[in-house]
Amino acid sequence: MKRGSIATILCAGMCTFGILQAQEAKATQKKATLDMQEFYMAHACHSCHGLYGEGIGNSPRLAGKKESYLYTRLKELQAGKTRTSYGGVMVSFAKSMDQNQTKAMAHWLSQLKKEEPTEEYDDGEFDVTS
């Protein structure tokens, strides 16, 4: 009986610890996500790649691409290696991210949905006559 209750207390303690740790990890991940969203907007990434990372013209889509691919591409760009003749514009933007930010950015972009929510681009009913 005594043994059992000690085990219960021990287990309860460890489980709580586990839950707390998990919650902390979740919170950290959430913060990293927010940070990358802020970074993306603050560093004008959206002006070329679109608000949702959907890509515009020569600037490729980023949303939903594989994290490992995005990471490799960012490292290549940081080293000045571009894939296209107009890729040079991207080099300084890639260099604006440190190692941790590069990792977090590749992760964040990979989690974005491939399709932009079309309703955001909906002009809606705009009656010019009234």
Asked if residue 104 binds ligand HEC (CB under 6 A), the reply is no
41 binds ligand HEC (CB under 6 A): no
Instruction: Report the SS3 class of residue 17.
Output: helix
CA-to-CA distance for 71 and 92, rounded, in angstroms? 16
Residue 59: DSSP 8-state:
B
Cα→Cα distances 84→52, 60, 118, Å: 22, 11, 29
Among 82, 95, 103, 116, binds ligand HEC (CB under 6 A): 82
Residue choice 15, 28, 30, 86 for contact with ligand HEC (CB under 6 A) = 86
Query: Least distance to ligand HEC from the beta carbon of 41, Å?
Result: 9
21 vs 72, which CB is nearer to ligand HEC? 72
Q: Taking CB under 6 A as the rule, does residue 59 contact ligand HEC?
A: yes
Query: Which CB, 10 or 89, lies closer to ligand HEC?
Result: 89
Map residue 127 onto helix, strand or coil: coil
112 is a site residue for ligand HEC (CB under 6 A): no
Member of 19, 22, 44, 79 binding ligand HEC (CB under 6 A): 44
| Residue indicated by tokens 């000690």 | 6
- Residues near 70 by beta carbon (within 8 Å), at least 6 away in sequence: 62, 105, 106, 109, 110
